[in-house]
Amino acid sequence: MICVSISKVSYDLAAEYARKYPFVEFRLDTLPISVEEAGNLFSIADRSISTCRPMPGQEGRREMFLKIGIESGADFIDLEIETSKQMLTDIKERVHRAETKLIISYHNFKKTPQKSELETIYEKAIQYGADIVKIACAVHHQEDNLRLLSLCAEYQSVLAIGMGPMGTFTRVLGPFLGSPFTFAHPDDQPPTAPGQLPYSRMKSLQTELKELFHGKI
């Protein structure tokens, strides 16, 4: 399954993508839209993730964005592992009442930590109530890719993503090793994260791999 991440576009274009792609992530901290428009986008999308990274000085607005996602039918809510305990508890309770799923995400834009640290991060996210754990790290060596992909093979419901050109193939191979889905960007937009592929390219690569290994994602 491929989730198309939508960022830094108008409301009308975001709505167009929501109709075009079967699974989308709305990066609400980057979209120039109102809370009401955000609710409309989730209503349009067949399957969606509500993501709103910290907005300096606008935590109240960020919380409203996350809550409207839950109320308007988002399938997943993404919260950083550094999120305050108060907000995490509040959002988690709302998520579970709505039968939405909670993604707890960890990002390291400098490096890929050692395996033991990655395992600790995973376990911490599970303790916080994560249904899916997202671990995205900058990749500088092939060993970094192997550590990330090993998480997909060893743990359930983990998205282990290598950021940067060298980490791109973790995005392609992850679902074949157990990741519930992977991310891509709209075909006519730039990546929303380093190493992302356009949707059509990702879909083509996964189709080719399925044919080679007779697998299903």
Residues annotated catalytic, as ranges: 107, 134
User: Which 3 state secondary structure label does DSSP give 158?
Assistant: strand
The answer to whether 28 touches 52, Cβ cutoff 8 Å, is: yes
Query: Which SS3 state, helix, strand or coil, does residue 127 take?
Result: helix
Do 144 and 167 touch, CB atoms closer than 8 A? yes
Compute the distance between CA of residue 75 and CA of residue 73 in angstroms, rounded to an integer: 6
Cα dihedral 111, 117, 123, 129 in deg (nearest 10) = -40
What SS3 class is residue 36?
A: helix
CA 212 and chain centroid, separation: 27
Do residues 50 and 76 touch, judged by C-beta distance below 8 A?
yes
